[in-house]
Structure 1
Amino acid sequence: MPRSRELWLLSRPQCHLCDEMLEELAPIAQRHGFSVVKRDVDADPAWRERYGRAIPVVLHGNVELCRHRCDAAKVHAYLSRFPLE
């Protein structure tokens, strides 16, 4: 299980769905002591191949939390498994 308190938002510049995802995701992540880092999906050939047309995608390590739209309930449930220290 990933130990980092960082969520990656795979996105592209000027992607309105990515901006919407970040807007919804950031307060949820902050509530659980996580940060959200935007990553360009095209920066890594493996990401581009796997997620190229599926963005935005939210990852915690190799765990995919949501794709296209923020699933707030799923993100809350997942992040609650990592209590603040």
Structure 2
Amino acid sequence: MTTARTVTLIGKPGCHLCDDARAVVEKVAAETGAVVEERDISRDPELHDRYWEQIPVVLVDGEQHTFWRVDERRLRAALTAAS
């Protein structure tokens, strides 16, 4: 049995790049069976301090995968690689 991969999108409301990233993340997650979670930096001071200049940030299984723009092929490759 394999455990589903987790993709975390870190962003904030009103962020157009976050909206673009969400569309890619949701598409690739649906294709690969990954679980998607979102975190809002405006509600989490620790995330704000760490990522405010990079949003949107995408984590795969808790490790930073990318920021600003999400490349669909690269994310798919990360999610289908052996964990």
Please give the TM-score of this superposition, normalised by the length of structure 2: 0.82
What's 1:39 paired with?
Answer: 39
Aligned residues: 81
Query: For 2:78 and 2:20, how far apart are their aligned partners in 1?
Result: 20
| Contact preservation (8 Å) 1:42, 1:52 | no
Give structure 2 stretches of 5+ with no counterpart. Answer: none
Q: Is the 8 A contact 1:65 1:74 kept in 2?
A: no
Question: Per the alignment, in what secondary structure is the counterpart of residue 54 of structure 2?
Answer: coil
Q: Compute the displacement of 1:4 (Å).
A: 5.2
CA RMSD in angstroms, aligned pairs only: 1.9
**Which structure 1 segments of 5+ residues have no match?**
none
Return the letter of the residue paired with 1:16: H
Runs of 4+ in 1 over 6 A off after TM superposition: none
Between the aligned partners of 2:66 and 2:73, the Cα distance in structure 1 is 11
Percentage of matched positions with identical amino acids? 32
Q: Which amino acid aligns with 1:69?
A: R
Q: What is the SS of the residue equivalent to 1:53?
A: coil
Over 3 Å counting, the alpha-carbon distance change for 1:4 and 1:43 in structure 2 is: farther
TM-score (norm 1): 0.80
- For each residue in 1:29-55, what CA deviation from the matched residue of structure 2 results, as whole angstroms up to 9, or x when unmatched? 111101322210233332111101210
Letter in 2 for 1:75: L
Cross-structure match for 1:6? 6
CA shift at 1:6, angstroms?
2.3
